[in-house]
Structure 1
């Protein structure tokens, strides 16, 4: 009897956690990161790569969920965590696309304190600044313009 109750509670929780509205939000956030990061790369480097579009979507979606999960944490701490998360994504994707498949999407070998040419402190700092900006925009939209979000 108790097992059935737990199973029903778990199924109800899972069903509510993955509602159609939440799925739509996740798709919109991922797509925004996908397109947004592509635009940033094109503006600053003149080109992008499909792997960066996917990574941009994954990074923004992760940042979105971190922001939701840790509502009462300061924006600076969230931006620091976001920068670390993005740096971890960058390292993982860099190992796959640059070192394993040799797509040569980026190379930080000329940067101080780089690791395998895939990550470096300068870009972690830039990710921190980007996270500060994105979290500020997100908080503005959430608190001031909630009708913009589904």
Structure 2
């Protein structure tokens, strides 16, 4: 299977999963969150692909959290500030930057990125016949 098709499938899986997570926890979501979630899922999933399974899972999760935070900042500046859609606002939270990212959410992204890493590895293994996942703890 070509890499573009595989990336598109993983993007849709990740975007859909994140959209559902938002519905479960917030009761609503926005279409832009499907796009942001899909992009984050692809980027976090690439950690194993680029850095190998030899990197301890906790460090992959921390890097994943930082990747998600960067994507959240950039997409927040576009979606919330530039386009004025006001999808989220962290202004009331401590340690926020322009209301787009917050230290609290960066910490919450750590376990979320762990789930994304495991799901990405599982999907790559089951759907695309890639290497069986294994982790260092």
TM-score class, shorter = 0.7 to 0.9
Contact 1:25 1:149 in 2 (8 A): no
Q: Which consecutive aligned stretches of 4+ in structure 1 deviate over 4 angstroms post-superposition? A: none
Q: In the alignment, is the contact (CA less than 8 A) between 2:45 and 2:116 conserved in 1? A: no
Aligned: 1:94 with 2:72: no
Partner of 1:149: 127
Query: CA deviation digits over 1:82-111, x for unaligned, max 9?
Result: 100100000001111111111110000111
Task: Give the number of the structure whose residues are more often helix, by fraction.
Answer: 1
For 1:71-110, what aligned pairs fall within 5 Å after superposition? 71=52, 72-110=54-92
Larger radius of gyration: 1
The answer to whether structure 1 residue 31 and structure 2 residue 12 are counterparts is yes
Gaps of 5+ in 1: 1-19
> Which whole-Å CA distance do the structure 2 matches of 1:125 and 1:37 have between them?
17
Higher relative contact order (CA 8 A, sep 6+): 2
2:39 alignment partner, one of 47, 51, 58: 58
| Whole-angstrom distance in 1 between the partners of 2:70 and 2:76 | 10
| Whole-Å separation in 2 of the counterparts to 1:132 and 1:37 | 13
